[in-house]
Amino acid sequence: MEEQKKLTGHEPYQPTTLGIDSRKLGIWVFLASEAVFFSGLIATYLIVTVRSTQGPYPNEVLSLPLVSVNTFVLIASSLAMVIALSNAEENKIHRTVIWLIVTAVLGLVFLGGQVYEFIHLFHNGLTLDQNLFGASFYTLTGTHGLHVLSGIIWIILVIFQLLKFRGDASQAAMKVELTGLYWHFVDLIWIIIFTVVYLLYT
Amino acid sequence: MAVVYKKDEKAAKKRPNYVLVFIALAVLTVIEVAVVQFPLPRAPILIALSIIKAALVALFYMHLRSDSRIFSALFGLGIILGIAMVISFVLLINTPFGNDH
């Protein structure tokens, strides 16, 4: 009887028949589906916000200075992430970990800013069930915030993996690259949300 | 044995200037905020600026410029579907059929 080889979970990843890494292909398919998902939320926001029949309205409660600073923080976190990837590609694991920590901290600062904004809006009478603007605003920005939180958790997991990592440098770089793709996508979506939610209506 | 991809190696060697991309993103954000303060045609300028910023992130930070075209095609398909959804929803709701006013 042929003996079955037990899988350890550390087998090398096989290329697809297209000659590209199956993990990267997977993450790009996921990001494409996420783009459609966020488009649905953005479309909903555009449609229902202008139909709010009672206040508060976007131009009455949204704070552009706070969100502009938050936008800079997220853009800076993307820079930290690509620097982490550059270091990972050069097999500088410790530097990679440091830049990943910087990325996660900037992500947390962004989330802190968002929580502060939500509290400020809540005190100004904008709740989830106050009007159509409130419902669509919290759904869109809250969903994005949850994505940032997921990204931070992912980064922390990769940091722990890298600290224990003793394998091939290209595999470490791939872990960082996949995390980075997700993180940059979250940044890209925020660029659109910043324009649609905060700049067009304030 | 780890699988090494030639395109990945090539991309790693020819890295874009990430700091320059960051500065461009920051400057464009400042311009966006400034546009809101002046009586300018807001929507076309802001939409154009946000498309440029999103493209910078996708091309340089997500490496679509140097990576396999398959990834660009996949992601582009998602973006096109998304944009089509936004446009069709907004147009549909503003027609006499969709307008409840």
Please report the DSSP string for A118-185 in residue order: HHHHHHTT--TTT-HHHHHHHHHHHHHHHHHHHHHHHHHHHHHHHHT--S-HHHHHHHHHHHHHHHHH
* Cβ–Cβ < 8 Å for A61, A124: yes
Q: CA–CA separation, A193 vs A191, rounded Å?
A: 6
Q: CA–CA separation, A139 vs A41, rounded Å?
A: 8
Q: Say whether the ipTM exceeds 0.90.
A: no
Nearest by CB to A28, from B8, B75, B90: name it: B75
**Number of DSSP helices (H) and strands (E) in chain B, helices first:** 4, 0
Lowest mean pLDDT among A66-70, A111-115, B35-39: B35-39
Domain boundaries, given as residue ranges, for chain A: 19-51+64-199
Q: Is the CA virtual torsion A112, A114, A118, A123 positive or negative?
A: positive
- Chain A residues lying within 8 Å of B78, measured CB to CB: 31-36
Class of domain A19-51+64-199: mainly alpha
- Chain A residues lying within 8 Å of B15, measured CB to CB: 86
* Cβ–Cβ < 8 Å for A184, B64: no
**Average pLDDT, stretch B72-97?**
88
Lowest mean pLDDT among A44-48, A175-179, B26-30, B77-81: A44-48
- The answer for residues whose C-beta is within 8 angstroms of residue A149's C-beta and 6 or more apart is A111
Mutate to test the interface with A, among B36, B75, B101 (most CBs of A within 10 A): B75
Q: For the segment A93-133, what is each residue's pLDDT rounded down to a tens digit?
A: 999 999 999 999 999 999 999 999 999 999 999 998 889 99
Beta-ladder partners of A21 = A15
Find the farthest-apart pair of alpha carbons in chain A and give their distance in angstroms, rounded: 75
| Chain A residue at shortest CA distance from B5 | A20
Q: CA–CA separation, A79 vs B18, rounded Å?
A: 7
Lowest mean pLDDT among A23-32, A173-182, B63-72, B87-96: B87-96
Say what the pTM is. 0.89
Beta-ladder partners of A166 = none
A13 part of contact set with chain B, CB < 8 Å: yes
Q: What pLDDT is stored for residue A18 in this prediction?
A: 75
Higher pLDDT pick, B39 / B62:
B62
Which of A52-56, A194-198, B6-10 is predicted most confidently? Answer: A194-198
Q: What pLDDT is stored for residue A179 in this prediction?
A: 97
What percentage of chain A exceeds 90 in pLDDT? 68
Q: CA–CA separation, B71 vs A168, rounded Å?
A: 24
What is chain B's mean pLDDT, rounded? 84
